[in-house]
Amino acid sequence: MSNPSAAMLVIGDEILSGRTRDSNMHYLAGELTKIGIDLKEARFIADDHVTIMETVKSLSAVHDQVFTSGGIGPTHDDITAEAVAAAFETSISIRADARAILQAHYDRQGVELNEARLRMARIPKEANLIDNPISAAPGFSLKNVHVMAGVPSICQAMIASVLPSLTGGAPLLSQTLRLERGEGDIAEPLSKLANLFSDVLIGSYPFQKDGNYGTNIVLRSTDEHRISQAKQQLKKLLDL
């Protein structure tokens, strides 16, 4: 049985212009691997209503879980919630539960819950709120789409809120063999190994650092025993 599949959708002009470097995808990738959900693809798109809507629709149809980050703040360029609602043809408005969370948060701070901040209470009708322990304004899950903030600390907190509710598969385990040899020297034995162990994912990652070069061979499988067998076989093939 294969693991559930997932896609990540990172939304924001600032990332595509090179102003900001995204870190949410890398973080989510690591967390999903731990619980046995396979991140199959990630997409980075601009703050554009139609693009967000269509991308959410197509990813949601293909994958078991979809995660978005970015575009759920109080300003004019925060249009993700509207676009996700449109993708599922569901209505969106200021919801009492989300409003209460914001009201309590801003009351504690002595800050007015003005019209702009109230936009963050706009949640699609059938969505479940995602807890935001950092700045209160919630994300939401609508069907299999989990809509989260772009600010890394908030996104990470929301990922922690969502993941326990999802059914994972067998976590992908890995072992790494670090070799002080170039890829060109080990490609042939590696290819032999791949033929012998078609059930183990075998990745080859060259590195070049401080004048040293070499290759990290990463063996991945849900079966620890098979990884160890493959590692042993690889050492034999490399005369180690």
- Binding of its own copies by 136 (CB under 8 A): no
Task: Name which position in 129, 172, 177, 179 contacts its own copies (CB under 8 A).
Answer: 172
- Binding of its own copies by 218 (CB under 8 A): yes
* Nearest C-alpha neighbor of 235 from the set 212, 214, 219: 219
Of residues 125 and 133, the one with the C-beta less far from its own copies = 133
Of residues 20 and 128, the one with the C-beta less far from its own copies = 20
Of residues 13 and 131, the one with the C-beta less far from its own copies = 13
Return the residues of window 54-113 that contact its own copies according to CB under 8 A: 73-78, 111
- Binding of its own copies by 133 (CB under 8 A): no
- Binding of its own copies by 116 (CB under 8 A): yes
Task: Name which position in 25, 83, 92, 130 contacts its own copies (CB under 8 A).
Answer: 25
Judged by the rule CB under 8 A, the positions of this chain that interact with its own copies are 13-23, 25-33, 38-46, 51, 73-78, 111, 114-117, 119-120, 135, 151, 153, 172, 174, 182-188, 190-191, 194, 201-206, 208, 218, 220
